[in-house]
Structure 1
Amino acid sequence: MPVAESRPAPAPAVGIRAQGLTKRYGGIAAVHDLSFTANPGVVTGFLGPNGAGKSTAMRMLLGLTRPTQGTITIGGRHITGFDDPVRTVGALLDARAVHPRRTAADHLLAFAQTAGLGKKRVGEVLDLVGLTDAAARRTGGFSLGMHQRLGIATALLGDPGVLVLDEPLNGLDPGGIRWMRTLMRDLAAQGRTILFSSHLMSEMELTADDLVVIGQGRLLAESTLEEFVQAQTTQTVTVRSPALDELASALSRAGITFDRAAGPSLQVTGADAATIGKIAATEGLALGELAPVRESLEDVFLRLTHDAAEHESRAA
């Protein structure tokens, strides 16, 4: 019987939920009592230093590793409970897990036939990831970036409602990174659930809506990206004025803390820009600069994971 050539209907939007997830290898807990949610319609960044347990958690989500305790489900069901999981969840864990003598098209066709899909869908995903011209090439000659695109094409074959991507930006050039960022955001805008890990903090900051941050297998933070940065930083505003001494006196009278910096300028930590501007206007003082200073996601992430590691080492 010929394989149907129709494009699969997208799976309904469902989320990911981990509850009390634990995985031990002997006496070592790779993941410990981890609970988090990745919701439909947003891109969820999964962050943690090397060895934090991200890949182990993703493997448990995909049914490749059995939890010691706890559950991780998709739409309330374990992945093994779906009759057609390829239409529910697509995954990229190891972009180089491809037979080197197979062509890109044959690699995808093998997966497509297993899932009841046909050649038409193979052509669609090759075009989507920009590998149409390389479809007949053997994958043993692919660059890491081309392997990543092929892995993403494999994940998208079933047009799933959930995508789990482990380091999908590795090996991509700047154009490829921008393409991947746009793809994830477009798929989320369609109502899909996107969970991806990356060590590229600048891209995580541009791509993710929500964050799940883990360290040494434990949850450190779960929130929107903006809330995460705000919660982990002290608000600072740089202020310059031709009447800096008068402004400093006015801020002191209002009980607002600040430090003098080069420039000359003030680094205000006790109020936001709107409050400072209102005080300056009330005093009739001109301002040359009034700029909130925001730490980068990278700065916050490195400090948080370092503090967690230091706490764990002291407690050991």
Structure 2
Amino acid sequence: MPITPPPRARAAGIRAQGLTKRYGTATAVDDLSFTAAPGVITGFLGPNGAGKSTTMRMLLGLTRPTKGSITIGGKHISELADPSRAVGALLDARAVHPHRTAFDHLLAIAQTAGLGRERVGQVLDLVGLSGSATRRAGEFSLGMNQRLGIATALLGDPGVLVLDEPLNGLDPEGIRWMRTLMRDLAGQGRTILFSSHLMSEMELTADDLVVVGRGRLIAESSLEDFVRVHTSHAVTVRSMELNELARALGRHGIAFEPAPGPSLLVTGTDPGTIGKIAAAQGIALEELARVRESLEDVFLRLTHDVTEHEGHAA
């Protein structure tokens, strides 16, 4: 008789406290503390080499911290009664024997966790791979391997999901599917920690953000607060009378710089103030709007000084 997952206990949160990992003289993670709460999608952001994957490996017990701790519900993963059902993870979508079929790969892991064939069929259907169950993993595209990795993470019906770059290789339809899946799982009260370099998708998917650079915490907040707090306040104003407008702003001590087209980028004030100054001088404005930075804009600006690999123009 197939074994099905037991009812899930209330999902546990993730907590890192003073987490540090050194490799000789190199520090990959440096006194890092953050939380990821149940029912919330927490985006884990940082440039290449920021320590994200190392942190996830320490959470899963694959790497031992030099100092500090990272726990699930207050316990190290080795202390959980049934870790394979408590935590599901995707770290490397290609970590599959290339000659094993998708079904056999999942069945081997399911049997190790005390699950049966029925559960394998359920997760294959969930990730859209039922029609490819008997194909060898070595024949899969990167996107199909990602789906297989996600199916593996979901086998034990876990309350905590740790996903490292789960969107890699997915086509637009697949990315939308993954976004919806994560939202559905978080809506069930599960804890989701995921990393991605696709800032547009992070902006659409994450509720909270943990941003790191060179192993240290840069920011931890809701996505909304992160963008609001770190957005530079600027206004674009367009007019055919730019010289007159520039002189008027200068007389009020307001900073500005030229912008593409017949416009100025004004900082340190709001649209209403600019409008009043222009009206007082009889200057007609064709456009007056706040500049809204994207998550990508804010992220790149905040992490510019901690990005180790940056291209330079020839």
Measured after TM superposition, the shift of residue 294 of structure 1 is 2.1
CA contact (8 A) 1:11 1:159 kept: no
Task: Give 1:167's aligned amino acid.
Answer: E
% same residue: 77
Measured after TM superposition, the shift of residue 137 of structure 1 is 1.1
Q: For 2:272 and 2:82, how far apart are their aligned partners in 1?
A: 54
**Equivalent position of 1:231 in the other structure:** 229
Q: For 2:135 and 2:45, how far apart are their aligned partners in 1?
A: 34
**Equivalent position of 2:256 in the other structure:** 258
2:148 alignment partner, one of 140, 147, 150? 150
Three-state SS of the structure 2 residue aligned to 1:165 is strand
2:215 alignment partner, one of 217, 221, 226? 217
CA shift digits 1:64-94 (9 cap, x unpaired): 1111100001111111111111222110011
CA shift digits 1:164-214 (9 cap, x unpaired): 001111111121112112211222222221111112222222222221111
Three-state SS of the structure 2 residue aligned to 1:199 is coil
Measured after TM superposition, the shift of residue 297 of structure 1 is 2.4
5 Å-filtered alignment, 1:18-33, equals 18-33=16-31
Q: For 2:188 and 2:298, how far apart are their aligned partners in 1?
A: 30
Q: For 2:169 and 2:299, how far apart are their aligned partners in 1?
A: 22
Moved more, 237-246 or 64-73: 237-246
Measured after TM superposition, the shift of residue 308 of structure 1 is 3.0
Q: Residue 158 and residue 283 in structure 1: after superposition, are their counterparts in 2 closer, same or farther (change >3 A)?
A: farther
**Equivalent position of 1:49 in the other structure:** 47
**Equivalent position of 1:201 in the other structure:** 199
1:173 alignment partner, one of 171, 174, 177? 171
Three-state SS of the structure 1 residue aligned to 2:61 is coil
**Equivalent position of 1:314 in the other structure:** none
Measured after TM superposition, the shift of residue 3 of structure 1 is 4.0
Q: For 2:284 and 2:245, how far apart are their aligned partners in 1?
A: 9
**Equivalent position of 2:87 in the other structure:** 89
Task: Give 1:24's aligned amino acid.
Answer: R
**Equivalent position of 1:98 in the other structure:** 96
Q: For 2:26 and 2:151, how far apart are their aligned partners in 1?
A: 35
2:138 alignment partner, one of 137, 140, 145? 140
**Equivalent position of 2:9 in the other structure:** 11
TM-score by length of 1: 0.87
Gaps of 5+ in 1: 311-316
**Equivalent position of 1:122 in the other structure:** 120
CA contact (8 A) 1:139 1:147 kept: yes
Measured after TM superposition, the shift of residue 230 of structure 1 is 3.3
2:64 alignment partner, one of 62, 66, 84? 66
Q: For 1:150 and 1:99, how far apart are their aligned partners in 2?
A: 12
CA contact (8 A) 1:165 1:197 kept: yes
Q: For 1:274 and 1:193, how far apart are their aligned partners in 2?
A: 43
Cα-Cα RMSD:
2.5
Task: Give 2:71's aligned amino acid.
Answer: T
CA contact (8 A) 1:11 1:87 kept: no
Q: For 2:288 and 2:270, how far apart are their aligned partners in 1?
A: 10
Q: Residue 171 and residue 251 in structure 1: after superposition, are their counterparts in 2 closer, same or farther (change >3 A)?
A: same
Measured after TM superposition, the shift of residue 280 of structure 1 is 6.8
**Equivalent position of 1:162 in the other structure:** 160
**Equivalent position of 1:294 in the other structure:** 292
Q: For 1:176 and 1:278, how far apart are their aligned partners in 2?
A: 49
CA contact (8 A) 1:10 1:160 kept: yes
Gaps of 5+ in 2: 309-314
CA contact (8 A) 1:41 1:188 kept: yes
